[in-house]
């Protein structure tokens, strides 16, 4: 793939919007670091983020929206969360909140969780793209897995050149480190990742913030899960892939991007089925298949 670099402006944003609406990820600056942005409501587009980054696992991604009003469509704000948001948005703050029912967000973007990390970025490039596509954008830092976060378009090109179609170049980012992440998911606020806002228990801003905290960052099915199954036992719901049809298939044609896009939805479906056990067909470990297998192994071992 040829990676184009266009200077930030109307033409670049129009091209970025066209690509995003066609299901492609594009690199665009926020005030913290460059993000690799894709339509958060399109599961295949989200899968292409992981594929481009070569990430060996699926982490929940931050979902970017243009305004607090847009964020309130997706997450449940309690009073403290609403207060923090009104003080710091637009800006380098991510809030992890309970996901609102019937949200349009692809389950892969939030790794199957019932919470969502939301951010209203201040940077004009990401803001312009959000307003052009009128979709929430999932965007991790725009670097290959294991590499440091990019603060210039050249960093993105070096790390992801040949793997993404477009980088919108708006020069160096102002903050240079990733957003501060605060969870407001069960009464009180917890600092999950320190960042530019320097929110901590000493801070005036941090009234009621416990730091640093850990959230359950992985969805776990409630049933035993068997891997590399060629066929179902009588008490199993079988998730198929390729030649193994199953009750439902991750991808009948053996397409790994499609399989990643369907993974969490099918785990939830299997969990909700009347069968007491879940089995999953073998999935090859190449490319994004490594992340799928990592996730399946965790799902198999996480419940005791
Ligand atoms: O500044 C930033 O935050 C940049 C720019 C592009 O916005 N983005 C970024 O994304 O750093 P990423 O994917 O590198 O980091 C996202 C982290 C995850 O690793 C996870 O720790 C946390 O955000 N996160 C997102 N959603 C979460 C959730 N529902 N529950 C817990 N943690 C969550
Ligand atoms: Mg990162």
Q: Has this prediction a pTM greater than 0.85?
A: yes
Q: Which atom of ligand 1 is nearest to the CA of 94?
A: 3
Query: What pLDDT does residue 208 have?
Result: 64
Which pLDDT value is given to residue 204?
43
* DSSP code for 206: G
Angle between helices 10-21 and 124-133 (to 10 degrees): 50
The packing angle between helices 256-272 and 289-302, to 10°, is 20
Tell which atom from ligand 1 comes closest to the C-alpha of 116.
29
Give the per-residue pLDDT at 303.
Answer: 55
The closest residue, in CA terms, to atom 30 on ligand 1 is 217
Q: Is the CB of residue 93 less than 8 Å from the CB of residue 117? A: no
Q: How far is the CA of 109 from the centre of ligand 2 (A)?
A: 14
Mean pLDDT over the full length of the chain: 93
What's CA 155's distance to the chain center, in Å? 21
Rounded distance from Cα 53 to ligand 2 centre (Å):
10
Q: Ligand 1 atom 12: the closest Cα is on which residue?
A: 140
Could you give the 3-state DSSP secondary structure of residue 82? helix
Per-residue model confidence (pLDDT) at position 275 = 98
Specify the pLDDT at position 212. Answer: 67
Sheet holding 115-119, edge to edge: 4-7, 166-169, 26-29, 34-39, 137-138, 62-64, 115-119, 93-98, 180-183, 189-193, 209-210
Please state, for a pLDDT cut of 70, what percent of the chain lies above it. 93
Average pLDDT (14-40) is 98
- If one residue of 66, 75, 111, 117 were mutated to test the ligand 1 pocket, choosing by the most ligand atoms within 8 A of its CB, it would be 117
Query: What is the per-residue pLDDT across 55-83, written as a single tens digit (0 to 9) for each?
Result: 888 999 999 999 999 999 999 999 999 99
- Which residue, by CA, sits nearest to atom 20 of ligand 1? 60
Judged against a pLDDT cut of 70, whether residue 161 lies above it is answered with yes
Token digits for 100?
């609102």
**Average pLDDT of the segment spanning 188-211:** 70
214 pLDDT band, cuts 50/70/90, is: low
Residues lining ligand 1, CB < 6 A? Answer: 30, 32-33, 35, 59-62, 94, 96, 110, 113, 115-117, 119, 139-141, 178-179, 181, 192, 215, 217
pLDDT at residue 201, rounded to an integer: 45
The answer, yes or no, to whether residue 304 has pLDDT greater than 60, is: no
Q: Distance from CA of residue 69 to its chain's centroid?
A: 20
Residue 149 Cα, ligand 2 centroid: separation in angstroms? 6
Q: What is the 3-state secondary structure (H, E, C) of the chain?
A: CCCEEEECCHHHHHHHHHHHHCCCCEEEECCCCEEEEEECCCHHHHHHHHHHHCCCCCCCCEEECCCHHHHHHHECCCHHHHHHHHHHCCCCEEEEEEECCCCCCCHHHHCCCCEEEEECCCCHHHHHHHHHHCCCEECCECCCCCCCCCCCHHHHHHHHCCCCCEEEECCCCCCCCCCEEEECCCCCEEEEECCCCCCCCCCHHHCCEECCCCCCCCCCCCCCEECCCCCCCCCEEEEEECCECCCEECCCCCCHHHHHHHHHHHHHHHHHCCCCEEEECCCCCCCCHHHHHHHHHHHHHHCC
pLDDT, tens digit (0-9, with 9 covering 90-100), for 231-290: 999 999 999 999 999 999 999 999 999 999 999 989 989 999 999 999 999 999 999 999
* Residue the block writes with tokens 């704000």: 77
Q: From the centroid of its chain, how far is CA 165?
A: 19
Of the listed ligands, the closest to the CA of 193 is: 1
Q: How many Cβ atoms sit within 10 Å of the Cβ of residue 196?
A: 18
Ligand 1 binding pocket mutation candidate from 35, 57, 59 (most atoms within 8 A of CB): 59
Place of tokens 């959000």: 130
Which of 57, 81, 100, 140 gets mutated to test ligand 1 (max ligand atoms within 8 A of its CB)? 140
Of 31, 37, 61, the one to substitute when testing ligand 1's pocket (max ligand atoms within 8 A of C-beta) is 61
Q: What is the pLDDT of residues 88-130, one digit of tens each?
A: 999 999 999 999 999 999 999 999 999 999 999 999 999 999 9
For the CA of 119, the nearest atom of ligand 1: 7
Spacing, Cα 205 to ligand 2 middle (Å): 25
């Amino acid at each position: 793939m040829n990676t184009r670099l266009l200077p930030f402006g109307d033409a670049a944003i129009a091209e970025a919007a066209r690509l995003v609406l066609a299901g492609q990820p594009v690199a665009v600056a926020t005030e913290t670091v460059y993000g690799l942005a894709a339509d958060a409501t399109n599961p295949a587009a989200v899968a292409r983020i992981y594929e481009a980054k070569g990430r060996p696992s699926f982490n929940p991604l931050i979902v970017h929206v243009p305004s607090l009003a847009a964020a309130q469509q997706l997450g449940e704000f309690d009073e403290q969360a609403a207060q923090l948001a009104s003080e710091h948005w637009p800006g380098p703050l991510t809030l992890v909140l309970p996901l609102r029912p019937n949200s349009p967000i692809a389950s892969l973007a939030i790794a199957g969780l019932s919470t969502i990390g939301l951010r209203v970025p201040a940077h004009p490039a990401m803001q312009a793209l959000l307003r052009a596509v009128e979709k929430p954008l999932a965007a991790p830092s725009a670097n290959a897995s294991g590499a440091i976060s990019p603060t210039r378009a050249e960093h993105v090109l070096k790390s992801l050149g040949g793997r993404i179609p477009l980088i919108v170049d708006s020069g160096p980012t102002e903050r240079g480190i990733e957003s501060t992440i605060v969870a407001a998911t069960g009464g009180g606020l917890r600092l999950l990742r320190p960042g530019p806002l320097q929110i901590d228990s000493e801070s005036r801003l941090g009234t009621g913030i416990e730091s640093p905290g850990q959230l359950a960052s992985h969805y776990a099915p409630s049933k035993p899960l068997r891997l590399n199954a060629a066929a179902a036992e009588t008490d199993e719901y079988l998730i198929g892939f390729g030649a193994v049809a199953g009750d439902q298939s991750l991808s009948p044609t053996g397409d790994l991007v499609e399989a990643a896009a369907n993974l969490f939805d099918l785990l939830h479906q299997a969990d909700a089925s009347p069968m007491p056990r879940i089995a999953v067909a073998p999935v090859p470990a190449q490319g994004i298949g490594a992340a799928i297998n990592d996730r399946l192994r965790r799902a198999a071992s996480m419940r005791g």
